[in-house]
């Protein structure tokens, strides 16, 4: 089918003003927050599940690839139209449909920003726990696609633990429901399968989310270190003691420098590392727990441990953490975020090896990560305009993931595989493992139309 016909058909479904296809628009929907680029054939902005279903039915009939897109903030090329086709942008489907406090559930459309729901819940004293650093702009569709995590996921689990059901448009355009408001559903756990499938199996058009009352009390502490290793050891020591803080985040010297230049978060510039530790729950016993954590920090040679005294101080510390990726662009224009996970006890050793990779390629590396989960985010700093450097960055990124895999970890904590890390899948899976996943993909999408070219590498047979 030629493009004009395609545009005409799609316009019948969503209206002319909601189909974009100029050269300029194709360029604008050809990027996300990763380093990859490719152009779609057109972009549509539906307003309802029914419209999404019709778009997909049309694409299915004509064998046109479909890529779902929220805010395009993913870091792994998840929304890059690798084989062209139609991008479905969900910005118009951004309604919070239901906040059901009594049953602790919320129902949203996929284009709602994560933080928008959270702000609405705050009025009821409720929270949606997952907190990706990008929450103010990431959409629930994107969170669903990537199974996003965040600092508080150490205690509360990642997106999949909070999505209880979804309305899904399948690759043939049929609309189904998986899961629902109840806590457990009989039959196969398709919700679990779809969360984190990066738009390759189904497109979510409504999501049922778990919401919970805000913890009665929180305490946020900043532990300051003269060595990265000591900070790493503290993380293991806290967890080994059976304490599960709400967050255990680490920032290293270079990240601190960038953050402090950007906003004044209150991280000391001469420290090698800081830990951002938050505990939450019942007021009763919280002070005792905090004291114990401070002791552990000190036993592991923390130079100083400070507690946020006011809500503003707490907000400031978190603003620093959440802006860390963006802030490093003050040091060099661009950064590649690696997203490896390692067993917590291996943190100090892996960090040392990561820094060696930086030295080998002569690229600065800043570290800011979910230490409690062993989820590293080495940020390799460079200038995208320098092709030589760009090549080195990809090699260094891959090497870092190899180190994580060798340490018994894995190649993605929360940012997904997308186009970026397909070949690294072999660091952690055998061809047989991949083939098993491929079978699932075929069962849902035999024609390979939903986000083709993502997640699964080709397996030679």
Partner 1 sequence: MKKEELKAQLYDEIAKCNRCGFCLAVCPVYAAVGKEWATPRGKNALIRAIIEGKIDWTPEIEESLYRCTGCRLCTQTCFPAVETNQGVLAGRECLVEKRLYPQVIDRVVEAIENNFNISNEPNINRTMWMETMEGVPENRFQKEKAEVIYFTGCVASFYPMAHKIPQNLVRIFHRAHVDFTLLGGEEWCCGFPLIQAGMKEKMKTLKEHNEKMVQKVGAKTIVFACPSCYHTWREMYQTDAEPLHSTQFIERLIAEGKIIFQDGRERIVTYHDPCDLGRNSKVFDPPRNILKKIPGVKLVELENNRQLSMCCGGGGDLEMIDPDLSSAIAKRKIEEIQKTGAEEVVTACQQCIRTISGYARKNKIKLKVRDITEVVLEAMSA
Ligand X SMILES: Cc1cc2nc3c(=O)[nH]c(=O)nc-3n(C[C@H](O)[C@H](O)[C@H](O)COP(=O)(O)OP(=O)(O)OC[C@H]3O[C@@H](n4cnc5c(N)ncnc54)[C@H](O)[C@@H]3O)c2cc1C
- Give the binding site for partner 1 (CB under 8 A): 20, 22-25, 27-29, 31-33, 43, 45, 71-73, 89, 91-92, 94, 113, 115, 134, 136-137, 262-263, 323-327, 329-330, 333-335, 383-385
Instruction: Give whichever of 33 and 175 is closer to partner 1, judged by the CB atom.
Output: 33
Q: CB under 6 A: which stretch of 19-27, 66-74, 179-187, 360-368 binds ligand X? A: 66-74
Residue 334 interacts with which of partner 1, ligand X, none, CB < 5 to 8 Å by class:
partner 1
Give 135 or 230: the residue with its C-beta nearer to partner 1.
Answer: 135
Residue 327 binding target from partner 1, ligand X, none, CB below 5 to 8 Å by type: partner 1
- Nearer to partner 1 by C-beta: 294 or 319? 319
Q: Which residues pair with 203 in a beta bridge?
A: 169
Decide: is 75 part of the binding site for ligand X (CB under 6 A): yes
149 binds ligand X (CB under 6 A): yes
Answer whether 292's CB lies under 8 Å from 300's CB: no
The Cα–Cα gap between 397 and 67 comes to 25
State whether residue 93 is helix, strand or coil: coil
DSSP summary character for residue 377: -
44 binds ligand X (CB under 6 A): no
- Angle between helix axes 49-62 and 3-14 (nearest 10 degrees) is 160
Q: What ranges make up the beta strands (E) of 253-326?
A: 273-281, 302-307
Cβ density class 126-163: b for 16+ within 10 Å, e for less: bbbbbbbbbbeebbbbbbbbbbbbbbbbbbbebbbbbb
Min separation Cβ 310 and partner 1, Å: 18
DSSP three-state, residue 260: helix
Identity of the residue, 151 or 358, whose beta carbon is nearer to ligand X in the bound complex = 151
- Alpha-carbon dihedral angle through residues 419, 422, 428, 433, given to the nearest 10 degrees: 110
**Residue of the chain from 43, 44, 60, 69 that contacts ligand X (CB under 6 A):** 69
CA-based angle 427:410:406, to the nearest 5?
60
CB of 430 to partner 1, least distance (A): 34
74 makes contact with ligand X (CB under 6 A):
yes
191 binds ligand X per the rule CB under 6 A: no
Task: Say how far apart CA 79 and CA 34 lie, in whole Å.
Answer: 9
Q: Binding residues for ligand X, per CB under 6 A?
A: 32-33, 67-75, 78-79, 90, 110, 132-134, 138-139, 141-146, 148-150, 198-199, 203-204, 325-326, 414-415, 451
């Amino acid at each position: 089918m030629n493009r004009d016909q395609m545009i005409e058909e799609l316009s019948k479904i969503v209206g002319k003003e909601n189909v974009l296809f100029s050269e300029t628009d194709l360029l604008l929907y050809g990027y996300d927050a990763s380093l990859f680029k490719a152009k779609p054939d057109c972009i549509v902005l539906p307003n309802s599940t029914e419209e999404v279903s019709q778009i997909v039915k049309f694409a299915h009939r004509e064998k046109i690839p479909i890529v779902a897109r929220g805010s395009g903030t993913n870091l792994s090329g998840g929304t890059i139209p690798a084989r062209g086709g139609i991008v479905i942008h969900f910005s118009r489907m951004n309604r919070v449909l239901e906040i059901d406090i009594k049953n602790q559930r919320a129902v949203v459309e996929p284009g709602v920003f994560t933080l928008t729901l959270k702000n609405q819940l705050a009025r009821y004293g409720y929270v949606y726990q997952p907190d990706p650093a990008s929450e103010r702009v990431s959409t629930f569709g994107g969170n669903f696609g990537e199974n996003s995590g965040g600092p508080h996921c150490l205690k509360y689990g990642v997106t999949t633990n909070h999505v209880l059901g979804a309305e899904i448009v399948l690759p043939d355009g049929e609309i189904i429901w998986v899961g629902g408001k109840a806590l457990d559903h009989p039959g196969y756990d398709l919700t679990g399968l779809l969360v984190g499938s990066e738009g390759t199996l189904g497109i979510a058009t409504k999501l049922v989310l778990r919401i919970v009352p805000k913890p009665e009390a929180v305490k946020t502490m900043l532990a300051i270190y003269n060595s990265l290793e000591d900070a790493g050891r503290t993380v293991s020591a806290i967890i080994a003691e059976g304490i599960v803080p709400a967050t255990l985040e680490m920032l290293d010297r270079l990240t601190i420098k960038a953050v402090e230049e950007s906003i004044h978060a209150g991280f000391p510039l001469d420290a090698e590392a800081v830990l951002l530790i938050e505990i939450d729950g019942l007021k009763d016993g919280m002070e005792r727990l905090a004291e114990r954590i401070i002791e552990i920090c000190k036993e592991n040679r923390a130079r100083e441990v400070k507690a946020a005294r006011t809500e503003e101080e707490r907000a400031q510390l978190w603003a620093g953490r959440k802006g860390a990726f963006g802030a490093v662009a003050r040091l060099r224009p661009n950064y590649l975020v690696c997203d490896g996970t390692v067993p917590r006890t291996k943190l100090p050793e892996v960090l040392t090896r990561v820094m060696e990779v930086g030295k080998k390629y002569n690229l600065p590396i800043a570290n800011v990560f979910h230490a409690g989960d062993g989820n590293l985010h080495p940020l390799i700093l460079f200038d995208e305009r320098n092709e030589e450097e760009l090549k080195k960055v990809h090699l260094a990124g891959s090497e870092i993931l190899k180190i994580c895999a060798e340490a018994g970890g894995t190649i993605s904590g929360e940012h997904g595989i997308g186009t970026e890390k397909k070949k690294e899948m072999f660091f952690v899976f055998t061809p047989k493992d991949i083939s098993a996943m491929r079978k699932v993909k075929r069962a849902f999408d035999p024609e390979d139309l939903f986000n083709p070219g993502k997640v699964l590498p080709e397996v030679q047979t």
